[in-house]
Amino acid sequence: MSSIQKSEVDVVLVGAGIMSATLGILLKELEPNLKIEIVERLDHAAAESSDAMNNAGTGHSAFCELNYTPERPDGTIDASKAINIVEQFEISRQFWAYLVNKKVLQNPNKFINSVPHMSFVWGKDNVNFLEKRYNELLKYPLFQGMEFSKDPKQIEQWAPLLMENRKLDDVYAATHMRIGTDVNFGELTREIFNYLVKEDGVSMSFNTEVNNIKRKGDKWLVEAKDEISGKTKKIKAKFVFVGAGGGAILLLQKADIPESKGFGGFPVGGEWLVCNDPTVVSKHMAKVYGKASVGAPPMSVPHLDTRFIDGKHSLLFGPYAGFSTKFLKQGSFMDLFKSLELNNVLPMLSAGIRNIDLTKYLIGQVMQSNEARLAALKEYFPDAKEEDWKLEHAGQRVQVIKKGKDGKGVLQFGTEVVNSADGSIAALLGASPGASTATQIMLKLLSNCFPNEYKSEQWQSKIKEMIPSFGLKLNEHPELVEETRERCSKILKIYPNN
């Protein structure tokens, strides 16, 4: 019997995370006859960046993340990124609502729950910044309903743990957005794949690691190894998507497309403090974000989070950033070194020199003691007791390094889709706010890689069915904002408390 298994499909999805799940279900809805094969190196779906413990689960909607609303040199607030992110999150919510109606997702409260989003700061300068931010965001329909207060009693009412036994020798401020949510992207991903694998023409392989992707005429040959049986799989496909989290950059390099040249990656790890004590957890129902330390990457903005994971209500604080040469949580310490090529060494070195503050910050985080972690937690929860919290590893992220216009490396926060000129292969690089905006990211990928089909009346009509606001900016159509949110909230069973 041959130890090589050969197959031919229309689409190969490498990696079983939220991006592959979203792209897979979109393609199957748009083209039901497509043959799709999903290949995952671990033994279950959503085991890396999409897993609930490996991301913030915020449902990044820019309600509370202060790094999405930077202060300009003249002191005004730039809300453009926040508006763009909340627009994209509303697209995700509409798509999830469609999937619930279609019975792809059976019980929405397994993956999405109502949890208010808050920003919390102290000190005169920070309080002034937050008030300016609040006043700026209120100008836009997507942020209507946001509340602001400098009254400690009001803040305590929103989130008691923040103010309990706090010495009021400083000034404090908070914003509160009651329509925020907590999203378990791991559960969402697994539910989509559970549906997909029952569809005709869809197959899925776990414990199977892709070790090469290369051109084969007008198609791609994906070579993988089944780690259980030892058999080699060779899959021919018209289109390949690499959604392998931090591992995507290594696979993209193997594909050797010109568009991948000059890209590098900078890995950043994370850890959480987790509390499961019901007496503590029951006192807090909010996602509370603060301001990041100088030099900290965006995914390290401190937050005290209500989370619903596998039906259990927990509190998480962090993340505490760290450095590892791994590109995946269950990756290899050689990942960073394997990614070095002649075309990206200089961009990576120059990016490192340009981001000395980040390097210093990560070294400080790695060296942090338990006492220092507890002290950081107490800035948000003054009554925190060490015995109620345990340290757990969060996911591994790889920040994109790309060649700038000056030829030097630029460390880029966020996500980036890289695709070949003919659109036959694409990869997703980067991190936050990826999962929350996965639907919009994958729609953009479809427009790049399937341009003729994307423009067709069939696809445009189907996308509009799945995402009713498609083609419109909700922020420019105030009358649609409330209507869209009410409809989605009803379908997703998320009913904010007053």
Which tens digits make up the pLDDT trace of 362-408? Answer: 556 655 667 888 888 999 999 999 999 998 877 666 666 666 666 66
Token digits for 87? 């627009």
Task: Give the mean pLDDT of 238-257.
Answer: 82
The pLDDT, as a whole number, for residue 405 is 65
1 pLDDT tier (thresholds 50, 70, 90): very low
Query: By percentage, how much of the chain surpasses pLDDT 90?
Result: 60
The pLDDT, as a whole number, for residue 324 is 67
- Per residue in 275-318, pLDDT tens? 999 999 999 999 999 987 655 555 557 889 999 888 789 999 98
The one-letter code for the residue type at 384 is A
**pLDDT exceeds 90 at position 60:** no
The pLDDT, as a whole number, for residue 295 is 52
**pLDDT exceeds 80 at position 2:** no
Choice among 67-76, 253-262, 308-317 with the minimum mean pLDDT: 253-262
What is the number of other CB atoms lying within 10 angstroms of the CB of residue 121? 21
**pLDDT exceeds 50 at position 498:** no
What is the number of other CB atoms lying within 10 angstroms of the CB of residue 3? 9
Query: If we measure between CA atoms, which residue out of 29, 186, 165, 179 comes closest to residue 118?
Result: 179
Question: How does DSSP assign 141-185, residue by residue?
Answer: GGGTT-EEE--HHHHHHH-HHHHTT---SS-EEEEEETT-EEE-H
Stronger pLDDT, 343 or 487, i.e. the higher one: 487
Choice among 51-55, 108-112, 347-351 with the minimum mean pLDDT: 347-351
- Per residue in 116-172, pLDDT tens? 999 999 999 999 999 999 999 999 999 999 999 999 999 999 999 999 989 888 899
Collapsing DSSP states into helix, strand and coil, what is residue 319? strand
The pLDDT, as a whole number, for residue 67 is 86
The pLDDT, as a whole number, for residue 221 is 96
- Average pLDDT over the chain reads 86
Choice among 55-64, 99-108, 269-278 with the minimum mean pLDDT: 55-64
- Per residue in 81-132, pLDDT tens? 999 999 999 999 999 999 999 999 999 999 999 999 999 999 999 999 999 9
Query: By percentage, how much of the chain surpasses pLDDT 70?
Result: 80
- Report d(CA 197, CA 415) in Å as an integer: 27
Query: If we measure between CA atoms, which residue out of 25, 360, 315, 340 comes closest to residue 188?
Result: 25
